[in-house]
């Protein structure tokens, strides 16, 4: 299941996949990097024992499975792995910034901000993980997707553009942590936006 371009949950159909498949191992390692991506595995009854030592899988369903059961398991995993205190219909307020997650809308000082989809996804990721420092590589993995092949300067460019849109007011929302990455400041102080 995708939240825009950023995965929020991996659903793996392992009916025709060998447990020793190197692509599976690579994918599972990518899911475990940074903020861990929850995984729902789909198995045939006969293949279940072969995958006992593979994982970690957060939940699984055995075929033949019914769609309502799989949908229930997906919703349960998304609830379980949602950032603390943040639901899909939440509104995040920081300084004069309002992020409405259900409407994909950002307001600043009551005015609607025009963000690109990727800028919005980046801001949402930061705002739902306040105070945590993320490397450029982790941001690429979590916001662009584990298979994005662009360089880490992509992150710098998007953050610079995002800052130019949301930090023209009195608050500084995105801090640069020198030689590490970036952090979202959920208690912003009035000031001027730092350079990259």
Phi-psi region of 109 (alpha: psi -120 to 50; beta: other; left: phi over 0): left
Same fold, 2-80 and 115-184: no
Q: Which of the residue ranges 30-39, 55-64, 116-125, 156-165 would you say has the lowest mean pLDDT? A: 30-39
**pTM for the predicted model, two decimal places:** 0.55
Average pLDDT over residues 18-39: 77
Distances (CA, A) of 107 to 4, 83, 111, 130, 158: 20, 21, 5, 18, 19
pLDDT of 158-189, one tens digit each? 999 999 999 876 788 999 999 899 999 887 76
The fold of 115-184 is Arc Repressor Mutant, subunit A (1.10.10)
| Sequence spans of domains, the chain | 2-80, 115-184
Name the CATH code of domain 2-80 (choices 3.90.1520.10, 3.40.50.1820, 3.40.190.10, 3.40.50.2300).
3.40.50.2300
């Amino acid at each position: 299941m995708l939240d825009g371009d950023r995965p929020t949950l991996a659903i793996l159909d392992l009916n025709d996949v060998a447990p020793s498949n190197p692509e599976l191992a690579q994918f599972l390692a990518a899911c475990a990097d940074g903020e861990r991506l929850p995984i729902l595995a789909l198995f045939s009854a006969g293949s279940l024992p072969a995958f006992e030592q593979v994982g970690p899988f957060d939940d699984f369903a055995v075929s033949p499975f019914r769609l309502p059961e799989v949908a229930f398991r997906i919703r349960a995993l998304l609830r379980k792995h949602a950032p603390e205190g943040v639901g899909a219909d939440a509104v995040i307020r920081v300084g004069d910034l309002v992020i409405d997650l259900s409407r994909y809308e950002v307001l600043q000082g009551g005015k609607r901000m025009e963000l690109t989809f990727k800028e919005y996804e980046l801001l949402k990721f930061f705002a739902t993980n306040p105070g945590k420092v993320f490397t450029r590589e982790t941001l690429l993995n979590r916001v662009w997707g584990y298979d994005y092949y662009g360089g880490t300067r992509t992150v710098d460019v998007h953050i610079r553009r995002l800052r130019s849109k949301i930090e023209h007011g009195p608050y500084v929302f995105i801090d640069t942590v020198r030689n590490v990455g970036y952090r979202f400041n959920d208690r912003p102080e009035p000031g001027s936006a730092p350079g990259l």
